[in-house]
């Protein structure tokens, strides 16, 4: 993979965001992200195919058939294969996987993988309806008004009960603090303008309140409502040569896995992200490495509790010890395993269909030294990065292991 | 008749007006919530929205729909529980739509007063004119076999006069919302000597359901809110006229407005507040109150002069401020009216000079927006006004005098028997006028 590009993640938190003013549509984001990639490879004619990951443009924007927007990126993409893929919030990850499949099947050498979502078209209460499409519709009636926060609130509630409320909240608080501090290092992050001098204090003050929101989470535990797109090139070795891009400016896909569980069933264990666990194990096995060799992880923290549970699912901490691991600072940028180094879904933003691609772009930036202010000083003996992109309540998961080129 | 039964047949008079539309909205929502209780299934609830203006009623329904939608969006979590047994309502979209429908279907916009002849409860929010109020209420009461309870929203007319002249013996009380009723938390509750205690209790229950702060006021013209505001306005106007001895009136108005806003840390200066309420409305309220005042004259020639020149302030139907003493552009004050020249004089031409004359604010000044959020008001305002009292500045001296007068008005409201205690006066000014601190304090002593 190479030539990653992110648009700004637009929404509350950005100074320039004004919900009352008209904003760019989904075509603008597709075009900007695509052009940002093309600029780096120099010539769009070398792109064989375009894949666009998107979750719910059909409802957020009343627009389907996104493959037809590829030519907005560049005239050279006209009359070439282009399609969109959907797997809820893992749509971006599926875009990457789909691009990889084209390359592996040798039907393409260079694929433009994009992800996009424009969500600020409706109020949050209606956005909740739209996003609930990532679950089983038959459960919608009995679900919470804020359906997905409700699902993860239930998980958090069990976690509190099992391991202790304060213990859990401490870990979740640190997850939130890291997200904000990391986001401040990326000018494209939605919370980049966050100047709150007392993040931990703000978190403590805002107790979960079931009457106003969900029972076990507050809004600081949640990812952002975002408009944004990301793009990256997935290429074969030959493709990379065709583009004339040095291996040092690319990352190698060392292993990957895509696992999907039955959407009509409840999670087997509310305090385990079982599908993430399986996908990560498979991807690491395919890469022939263990988690200890990974230098940085981008994980799908749609809620702070999902961050903690991912830490456990990845084997970084034992079951129930995720809160402790995070509270001790291990996932901060200077910790043992820097995670979500530009803020993740809570800090950088969560343009749902774009998130999987955004994660790949972040890892590419970190492993190739393109991460700007957010750049980590990565150890030479751990040349790997890992992304975990999740759709729905641990239903569709894409795990990818990247190696420095 | 139970609380729920009382609310099955309700009429709002003057429903398309600024106050009436807010009262209608709150009542419609409360009635809908009651109608949706399982025990009230199948019962009919009717809310007649009566107004003389067809055009106003059309606008009213647009306003209602938009406001109910906002309310529904805010309480969707509760609404999902309320509609739990409705298997056809699945998404928030469905639930919110249904609720908006369930509220609006109770409301019957009409110009026909006769629809109030079946009401159990009548909210009166017509023009602040006693004769008109009495005429309408009398007519309704004579034709209504239910002996309806009347809640009048008058802000100044003594309730016992309405009671006796309309023949409502014990069946009317003052239920005075603040503008806009849907937002403002305060209600002044005024009963007469013969008010039915059951009606009083109903009023308290109803206010509680609407999450309003109730301050009891005694039945003396103007009650607490206007009792303070009108006197404060007269003081401000007179202060400006006095300053106008040495300078043009627009400059004096600008200075008094600035002193009452910035130096006294209020949300608006006194002339802006008069414009907000409407110069004509202020004049009218004073006219209603004045005959009931002893040893004081609540009247201003300057207000009369402005009305004669058709400069009235008030708000447009969009909520935007109309020009009055002050001229407003995009919410900012840009000029002050000069009645002698019959023209607005731009602030640019004199504000610098006036600001210099007024002098600096104390160093520990915090603007109203910040000060209003301080929990321990004394901790900020005692040192702030101490600093002001020590200042030789012209503005500081005016402000201290102004604050002392406001304090005296508050105390007089208690000694005159309008308010039961100083705390009630302060509650009205804090919640009804959004003051950052109560007028009765020891800051200026």
Helix (H), strand (E), coil (C) string for chain A:
CEEEEECCCECCCCCCCCCCCCCCCHHHHHHHHHHHHHHHHCCHHHCCEEEEECCCHHHHCCCCCHHHHHHHHCHHHCCCCEEEECECECHHHHHHHHHHHHHHCCCCCEEEEEEEEECCCCCHHHHHHHHHHHCCHHHCCCCCCCHHHHHHHHHHHHHHHHHCHHHHHHHHHHHHHHHHHHHCCCCCCCCCCCCCCCHHHHHHHCCCCCCCCCCCCCHHHECCCCEEEEEEEEECHHHHHHHCCCHHHEEEEEEEEEEECCCCCCCCCCCCCHHHHHHHHHHHHHHCCCHHHEEEEECCCCEHHHHHHHHHHCCCCCCCCHHHHHHCCCCCCCCCCCECCCCHHHHCCCCHHHHHHHHHHHHHHHHHCCCHHHCCCCCCCCCEEEEEEEECCCCEEEEEEEEEC
Q: Which residue of B has its CA nearest to A144?
A: B77
Q: Which residue of A has its CA nearest to B97?
A: A126
Cβ within 8 Å, pair B80-A212: no
The pLDDT value recorded for residue B315 is: 82
> Which of A145, A147, A148, A208 is the best mutation test for B, with the most CBs of B within 10 A?
A145
Nearest CB to B77; choose among A126, A132, A145: A145
In chain A, residues with a C-beta closer than 8 Å to the C-beta of B91 are 129, 132, 140
Which residues partner with A49 through β-bridges? A111
Q: Does B77 touch chain A (CB under 8 A)?
A: yes
Nearest CB to B91; choose among A140, A144, A211: A140
Share of chain A above pLDDT 90, in %: 99
Residue B444 lies inside a defined structural domain of this protein: no
Residue B243 lies inside a defined structural domain of this protein: yes
- Please count the residue pairs, one from chain A and one from chain B, whose beta carbons lie less than 8 angstroms apart: 31
Q: Rounded to an integer, what is the distance from CA B431 to the centroid of its chain? A: 10
CATH of the domain at B347: 1.10.1040.10
Residue B445 lies inside a defined structural domain of this protein: no
Cβ within 8 Å, pair A141-B96: no
Cα distance from A129 to chain B (closest Cα, Å)? Answer: 6
Query: Is B210 in the same domain as B232?
Result: no
In CATH, the number for domain A2-122+225-245 is 3.40.47.10
Q: Considering the entire predicted model, what is its pTM? A: 0.89
Confidence check: pLDDT of A405 > 90: no
Tens of pLDDT along chain B (445 residues) come to 999 999 999 999 999 998 999 999 999 999 999 999 999 999 999 999 999 999 999 999 999 999 999 999 999 999 999 999 999 999 999 999 999 999 999 999 999 999 999 999 999 999 888 999 999 999 999 999 999 999 999 998 999 999 999 999 999 999 999 988 999 999 999 999 999 999 999 999 999 999 999 999 999 999 999 999 999 999 999 999 999 999 999 999 999 999 999 999 999 999 999 999 999 999 999 999 999 888 899 999 999 999 999 999 988 766 789 999 999 998 899 999 999 999 999 999 999 999 999 999 999 999 999 999 999 999 999 999 999 999 999 999 999 999 999 999 999 999 999 999 999 999 999 999 999 999 999 899 8
Query: Is B137 in the same domain as B34?
Result: yes
Please write the tens of the pLDDT for every residue from B69-119. Answer: 999 999 999 999 999 999 999 999 999 999 999 999 999 999 999 999 999
Total count of domains within chain B: 2
Nearest CB to A126; choose among B78, B80, B92: B92
Nearest CB to B91; choose among A129, A144, A146: A129
Query: Is B236 in the same domain as B201?
Result: no
- E strand or H helix at B5, and its extent? helix B3-6
DSSP state of B217: B
> Which of B92, B96, B97 is the best mutation test for A, with the most CBs of A within 10 A?
B92
Q: Does B238 touch chain A (CB under 8 A)?
A: no
B188-211 in b/e form (b: 16+ CB < 10 A) is bbbbbeebbeebeebbeebbeebe
Query: Is B206 in the same domain as B145?
Result: yes
Given pLDDT bands bounded at 50, 70 and 90, which one contains residue A84? very high
In chain B, residues with a C-beta closer than 8 Å to the C-beta of A146 are 77
Query: Is B208 in the same domain as B238?
Result: no
Question: In chain B, positions 92-131, which contact chain A (CB-CB < 8 Å)?
Answer: 92-93, 95-96
| Range(s) of chain A covered by CATH 3.40.47.10 | 2-122+225-245, 142-222+250-404
Cβ within 8 Å, pair B90-A141: yes
The stretch A74-80 carries a mean pLDDT of 98
- Please identify, among B195, B216, B237, the residue that sits at the C-terminal boundary of a domain: B216
Residue B441 lies inside a defined structural domain of this protein: no
CA neighbours closer than 13 Å in the CB half-sphere of residue B347 = 17
Query: Is B127 in the same domain as B269?
Result: no
Q: Does B76 touch chain A (CB under 8 A)?
A: yes
The pLDDT value recorded for residue B216 is: 95
In chain A, residues with a C-beta closer than 8 Å to the C-beta of B77 are 144-146, 210-213
The pLDDT value recorded for residue B318 is: 67
The pLDDT value recorded for residue A357 is: 98
CATH of the domain at B133: 3.40.50.720
Residue B205 lies inside a defined structural domain of this protein: yes
Nearest CB to B92; choose among A129, A210, A212: A129
Tell me the DSSP string of B392-407.
--HHHHHHHHHHHHHH
- Please identify, among B166, B191, B216, the residue that sits at the C-terminal boundary of a domain: B216
Q: Does B294 touch chain A (CB under 8 A)?
A: no
Confidence check: pLDDT of A150 > 90: yes
Query: Is B184 in the same domain as B248?
Result: no
Please write the tens of the pLDDT for every residue from A277-322. Answer: 999 999 999 999 999 999 999 999 999 999 999 999 999 999 999 9
Parent domain of B139: 3-216
Query: Is B171 in the same domain as B297?
Result: no
The stretch A120-140 carries a mean pLDDT of 97
Q: Which residue of A has its CA nearest to B85?
A: A141
Radius of gyration of chain A (CA): 19
Q: What rounded mean pLDDT belongs to chain A?
A: 97
Residues of A within an 8 Å Cβ radius of B? 123, 125-126, 128-129, 132, 137, 140-141, 144-146, 210-213
Please write the tens of the pLDDT for every residue from B17-75. Answer: 989 999 999 999 999 999 999 999 999 999 999 999 999 999 999 999 999 999 999 99
Query: Is B192 in the same domain as B238?
Result: no
Query: Is B113 in the same domain as B182?
Result: yes
The pLDDT value recorded for residue B331 is: 84
Cβ within 8 Å, pair A129-B93: yes
Cβ within 8 Å, pair B92-A211: no
Nearest CB to B87; choose among A141, A144, A213: A141
- Please identify, among B165, B193, B216, the residue that sits at the C-terminal boundary of a domain: B216
Largest alpha-carbon pair distance within chain A?
58
In CATH, the number for domain A142-222+250-404 is 3.40.47.10
Please write the tens of the pLDDT for every residue from B147-172. Answer: 999 999 999 899 999 999 999 999 99
Q: Which residue of A has its CA nearest to B73?
A: A125
Residue B442 lies inside a defined structural domain of this protein: no
């Amino acid at each position: 993979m190479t030539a990653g590009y992110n648009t700004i993640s637009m929404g509350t938190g950005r100074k320039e965001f004004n919900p009352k003013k008209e904003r760019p549509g989904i075509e603008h984001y597709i075009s900007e992200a695509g052009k940002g990639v093309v600029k780096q490879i120099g010539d769009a004619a070398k792109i064989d195919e375009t894949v666009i990951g998107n979750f719910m443009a059909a409802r957020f924007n009343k627009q389907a058939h996104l493959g037809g927007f590829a030519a907005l990126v560049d005239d050279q993409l006209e009359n070439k294969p282009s399609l969109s893929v959907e797997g809820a919030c893992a749509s971006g990850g599926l875009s990457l996987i789909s691009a990889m499949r084209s390359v592996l099947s040798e039907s393409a050498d260079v694929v433009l993988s994009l992800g996009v979502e424009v969500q600020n078209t409706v109020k949050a209460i209606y956005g909740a309806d739209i996003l609930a499409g990532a679950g089983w519709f038959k459960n919608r009636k009995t679900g919470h008004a804020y359906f997905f926060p409700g699902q993860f609130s239930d998980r958090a509630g069990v976690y509190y009960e099992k391991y202790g409320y304060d213990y859990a909240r401490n870990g979740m608080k640190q997850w939130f603090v890291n997200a904000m501090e990391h986001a401040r290092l990326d000018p494209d992050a939605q919370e980049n303008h966050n100047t709150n001098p007392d993040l931990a204090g703000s978190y403590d003050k805002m107790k979960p309140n079931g009457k106003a929101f969900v029972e076990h989470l507050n809004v600081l535990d949640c990812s952002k409502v975002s408009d944004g797109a990301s793009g990256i090139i997935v290429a074969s070795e030959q493709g990379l040569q065709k583009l004339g891009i040095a291996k040092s400016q690319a990352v190698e896909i060392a292993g990957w896995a895509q696992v999907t569980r039955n959407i009509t069933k409840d999670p087997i264990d509310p305090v385990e992200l079982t599908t993430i666990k399986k996908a990560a194990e498979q991807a690491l096995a395919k890469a022939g490495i263990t988690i200890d060799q990974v230098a940085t992880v981008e994980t799908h923290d749609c809620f702070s509790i999902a961050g903690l549970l991912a830490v456990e699912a990845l084997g970084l901490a034992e079951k129930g010890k995720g809160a402790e691991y995070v509270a001790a600072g291990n996932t901060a940028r200077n910790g043992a395993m820097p995670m979500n180094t530009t803020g993740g879904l809570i800090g950088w933003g969560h343009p749902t269909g774009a998130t999987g691609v955004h994660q790949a772009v972040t890892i590419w930036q970190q492993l190739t030294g393109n991460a700007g202010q957010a750049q980590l000083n990565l150890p030479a003996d751990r040349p790997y990065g890992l992304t975990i992109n999740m759709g729905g309540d641990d239903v569709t998961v894409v795990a990818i292991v990247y190696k420095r080129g | 008749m139970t609380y729920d039964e009382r609310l099955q047949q309700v009429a709002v008079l003057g429903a398309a007006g600024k106050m009436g539309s807010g009262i209608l909205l709150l009542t419609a929502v409360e009635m809908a919530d009651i109608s949706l209780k399982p025990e009230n299934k199948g019962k009919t609830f009717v809310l007649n929205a009566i107004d003389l203006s067809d055009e106003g009623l059309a606008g009213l329904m647009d306003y209602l729909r938009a406001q109910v939608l906002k309310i529904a969006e805010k309480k969707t979590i509760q609404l999902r529980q309320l509609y739990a047994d409705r298997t056809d309502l699945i998404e928030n979209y469905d639930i919110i739509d249904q609720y908006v429908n369930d509220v609006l279907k109770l409301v019957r916009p009409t110009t026909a007063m006769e629809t109030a002849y079946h009401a159990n409860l009548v909210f009166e929010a017509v023009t602040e004119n006693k004769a008109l109020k009495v005429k309408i209420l009398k007519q309704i009461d004579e034709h209504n076999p239910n002996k309806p309870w009347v809640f009048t929203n008058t802000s100044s007319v003594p309730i016992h006069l309405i009671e006796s002249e309309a023949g409502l013996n014990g069946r009317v009380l003052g239920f005075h919302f603040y503008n806009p009723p849907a937002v403002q938390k305060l209600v002044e509750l005024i009963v007469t000597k013969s008010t039915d205690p059951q009606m009083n209790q109903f009023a308290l229950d109803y206010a509680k359901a609407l999450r309003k702060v109730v301050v009891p006021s005694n039945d003396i013209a103007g009650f607490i809110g206007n009792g303070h505001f009108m006197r404060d306005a007269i003081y401000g106007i007179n202060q400006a006229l006095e300053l106008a001895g040495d300078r043009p009136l627009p400059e004096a108005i600008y200075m008094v407005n600035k002193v009452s806003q910035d130096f006294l840390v209020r949300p608006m200066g006194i002339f802006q507040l008069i414009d907000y309420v409407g110069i004509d409305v202020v004049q009218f309220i004073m006219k209603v109150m004045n005959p009931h005042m002893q040893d004081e004259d609540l009247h201003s020639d300057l207000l009369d002069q402005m009305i004669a020149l058709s400069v009235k302030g008030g708000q447009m139907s969009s909520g935007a401020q109309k020009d009055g003493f002050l001229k407003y552009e995009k919410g900012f004050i840009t000029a002050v009216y000069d009645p002698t020249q019959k023209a607005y004089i731009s602030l640019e031409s004199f504000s610098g000079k006036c600001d210099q004359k007024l002098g600096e604010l104390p160093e520990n000044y915090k603007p109203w927006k910040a000060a209003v959020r301080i929990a321990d008001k004394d901790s900020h305002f005692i040192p702030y006004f101490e600093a002001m009292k020590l200042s030789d500045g012209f503005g500081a001296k005016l402000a201290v005098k102004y604050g002392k007068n406001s304090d005296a008005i508050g105390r007089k409201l208690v000694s005159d028997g309008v308010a039961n205690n100083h705390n009630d006066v302060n509650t009205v000014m804090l919640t009804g006028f959004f003051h950052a601190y109560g007028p009765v304090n020891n800051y200026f002593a």
